[in-house]
Amino acid sequence: MSRTTALDYIEVIAQAWNDTGAIIGTVWTNFTEISAGGSVSFEQESITNGRNGAVSDYSVVLTT
């Protein structure tokens, strides 16, 4: 899917939870001035501080 309009701002919040529902990691980033049809990407090595095996659920939320 391609956008036909530019975006001034995108906020990305990713969170990971363990099996008891506790948040064990969060990462936040933002991007500005994304052109029409453009794309952005981000990579986070680990948001769980070494507790990757404990992740039972996660979410990634984009807000414009």
pLDDT at site 9: 95
Q: At 50, list the tokens.
A: 């070494």
Please say if the pLDDT value at position 1 is more than 60. Answer: no
Per-residue pLDDT tens digits for 4-60: 899 999 999 999 899 999 988 888 999 999 999 888 888 776 676 776 678 889 999
Instruction: Determine, yes or no, domain membership for 17.
Output: yes
* Torsion angle of C-alpha atoms 5, 11, 17, 21, degrees rounded to 10: -100
* pTM of the model as a whole: 0.74
What number of CA atoms fall less than 13 Å from residue 31's CA on the CB side? 16
* Torsion angle of C-alpha atoms 63, 42, 14, 5, degrees rounded to 10: 10
Indicate left, alpha or beta for 18 from its phi (over 0: left) and psi (-120 to 50: alpha).
Answer: beta
Q: Structurally, how many domains does the chain consist of? A: 1
pLDDT at site 25: 86
Closest CA to 14 of 27, 31, 23, 2: 27
pLDDT at site 3: 75
Instruction: Determine, yes or no, domain membership for 1.
Output: no
Instruction: Determine, yes or no, domain membership for 56.
Output: yes
